[in-house]
Amino acid sequence: MKRWFLILALLLPALLWRWDSVTVTGGAELEESRYVALTFDDGPKRGSTDRLLDGLRERGVNATFFLIGEQIAENRDLVARMADEGHQIGNHTWSHQRLDQGADLQEELQRTEEALEELCGPGPYWLRPPYGQVGENSVIEVPMVKWSVDPRDWESRDAVKVTQAILENVQPDSIILLHDIYPSSVDAALQVVDTLQAQGYHFVTVAELLALNGVDPQPGQLYRTGRG
């Protein structure tokens, strides 16, 4: 019996070290599982959107683009490129009309849906309502996406301020709102990607973010984060 106690005493430090090692490694793996979604509204726009796509491709990042329908025809190559490079594409209405103030909701959504299907294939394409609002009794037949981090890039048009606002508020499963029509927002987006990737974050589309959290997107539901 004494012999077994002696063997256990000799082995115990090694066993404890191994347990601590597994615990630390497992914790690191969990910590690294930090996913966020970059989303861009109001595009596409020649000059800024293609520069953004270049930067995202260089960094191996996929994002989600909510497009204004009336801008698709003159930017068909950009939209096709988004689809080819694995980005998620969504509907941001035909002419950026508020959907909670009497706009012809079905026409605004259907015209953009048709333009996207003609270029990128069958939908349905998820909706980001302009200003994040829809009428109380509106019937929406696709999932809707809002956001949890809004740096108000349209207001400041300052890449440094936008970057800082995002980095101060981002957390795992965030959905970040930006507008690819502003060069300053493109600069901020790429800086955010570089900074957060260095911290162990991974960038995915909104659809991927919800799937990672086991969320089954439902028509008419509004999603603000990757958890719902």
Residue 179 appears among annotated catalytic residues: yes
**Cβ-contact 37, 205 below 8 angstroms:** yes
Q: From the candidates 87, 179, 180, 187, give the one annotated as an active-site residue.
A: 179
Strands (E), 108-226: 144-145, 175-179, 201-203, 222-223
Token readout for 88 is 């998620």
Q: Is the dihedral of CA 9, 13, 19, 22 positive or negative?
A: negative
Query: Do 197 and 32 meet the contact criterion of CB atoms below 8 Å apart?
Result: no
Indicate if 96 belongs to the active site: no
Residues 43, 65 contacting (CB under 8 angstroms)? yes
Catalytic positions: 41, 179
